[in-house]
Chain A
Amino acid sequence: MDFEVIARNFPFMLGGLALTIQLALITLAGGLLLGIILAVARLSSRSWLYYPATAYVHFFRGLPLILVIFWIYFLSPVLTGRSLNEFLAAVVSFIVFEAAYFAEIIRAGIQSIPRGQAMAAHSSGLTSFQCMRFVILPQALRNMIPALVTQAVVIFQDTSLAYVIGLREFLRRVNLVDAREARSVELYLFAGLVYFIFCSIGSLCSQRLEHRRERNSL
């Protein structure tokens, strides 16, 4: 065992980790936003909103993420005539894919809010949008925090799949170092440790938030 190899290539791999975190955060923000829109559309009584949103969610939940990454990366030049750079292709794939999962979490969260809340909001003259924005979503999002954090952890892990289109995120860089140094055991143990630490922090946050929520809802 030669853990020296990690120290030697630490800055290079750290650069990949920064990219991984960046990718995860952008996906989280974009996925959440698109997810909220899809969730609201899926709860709408208007069929021109409901059916497309429902089809979207079922479609992407029925595909492996890696396939979506390939599609976006290889299909976009065909459709637009220009090739997408790897980072952008990865971001778009992740947002498009994760939004479908977020949408279902958010939909369940919105449905968990008693109907009387919307009735009270509507009776005071608020529009459906205002009711959603000020009354329903703040409560629903709070209830959803544990599930959302769990999904964020999954996203963090999923970013490693971007290596298939050559994006030099964390795992890809570990992989490159291994190709040069031939120290698979040490390097992949290290990679595992890094993912484990980050995901544990996420899970811990989720537990904390859940405890706090329980206390506040007394």
Chain B
Amino acid sequence: MIEIRNVSLWYGAGHKALEDINETIPGGRTVVICGPSGSGKSTLLRCVNGLEHFQQGEVVVDGISVQAPGTDIHKLRSNIGMVFQHFELYPHMTAMDNITLAPVQVRKKPEKDAREKAMEILDRVGIPGKAFKYPGELSGGEKQRVAIARALAMEPRIMLFDEPTSALDPEMIKEVLDVMIDLARAGMTMVVVSHEMGFAREVAHEIIFMDKGRVMEKGTSHEFFNHPKNERTRQFLSRILL
């Protein structure tokens, strides 16, 4: 469960990136955040695992306050998987080593167990044959699936996705979305920044629309697509859905 309470964040003196965000995401739910670029979606996502520092409010993940002084941020992060737009695989390591690094170093898992688990997950994301390839030898879709596998290897309770398909060629988007849909159906708590409205329609329990650092609208996918209340949302949808 993720609780975001009155969170505000600004860069420098004036520019407010997030303004008074309130959101509760119960365990097992999938929430999709959309909105124009610069609306604060990715910033909000990074507040959840403490990669971004906010000045006001509180983010509580499974009962632990992210920015509280006593919080073991490394431990907290190890339970939250994150997937990035540009994959951010470690280029000097094979897919296998990318996946086992954190389980071995953070969880102190024996190398052998970590490798077995990694193979299992690679199988689950559909690329068991790529375990010993370097990121440079993989296609975009394969890279992103390795990145998802890397996050899953820590057996996280929550997964954060930051525009996971935006950097992919159109024909590779589906293979990544399919993995995400499986995850959502398996009951993973997911926060997904994405403009993949098909994905949102299919698995999102809630859709949030952000603009200029504020939540403009939120609702179930049915409400969101069929009866958007906010004028800005309607505008956005008409552009994105053509």
- A80 contacts the other chain (CB 8 A): no
Tell me which residues from 124 to 138 in chain A have a Cβ below 8 Å from any Cβ of chain B. 124-127, 130, 134-135, 138
- B74 contacts the other chain (CB 8 A): yes
Residue tally, chain B, CB below 8 Å to A: 27
Q: Are B154 and A120 in contact (CB under 8 A)?
A: no
A116 to B79, CA, bound (A): 19
> What are the residues of chain A within 8 A of B80 when measuring CB–CB?
123
A124 to B160, CA, bound (A): 11
Q: Are B82 and A125 in contact (CB under 8 A)?
A: no
> What are the residues of chain A within 8 A of B147 when measuring CB–CB?
120
A142 to B150, CA, bound (A): 23
Q: Are B84 and A125 in contact (CB under 8 A)?
A: no
- A197 contacts the other chain (CB 8 A): no
- B88 contacts the other chain (CB 8 A): yes
A122 to B154, CA, bound (A): 13
Q: Are B51 and A119 in contact (CB under 8 A)?
A: yes
Cβ contacts B114-153/A at 8 Å (1 or 0 each): 0000000000000000000000100000000001001100
- B105 contacts the other chain (CB 8 A): yes
Given contacts A116-B86, A119-B51, A217-B136, contact A127 B92 (CB under 8 A): no
Known: A117-B88, A122-B51, A123-B77. 17 other contacts (CB 8 A): A114-B88, A119-B51, A119-B88, A120-B84, A120-B90, A122-B77, A123-B80, A123-B160, A124-B106, A124-B150, A125-B79, A126-B105, A134-B90, A135-B90, A138-B92, A139-B90, A142-B92
Residues of B participating in the A interface, judged by any CB pair closer than 8 Å: 49, 51, 74-75, 77-82, 84, 86, 88-92, 101-102, 105-106, 136, 147, 150-151, 154, 160
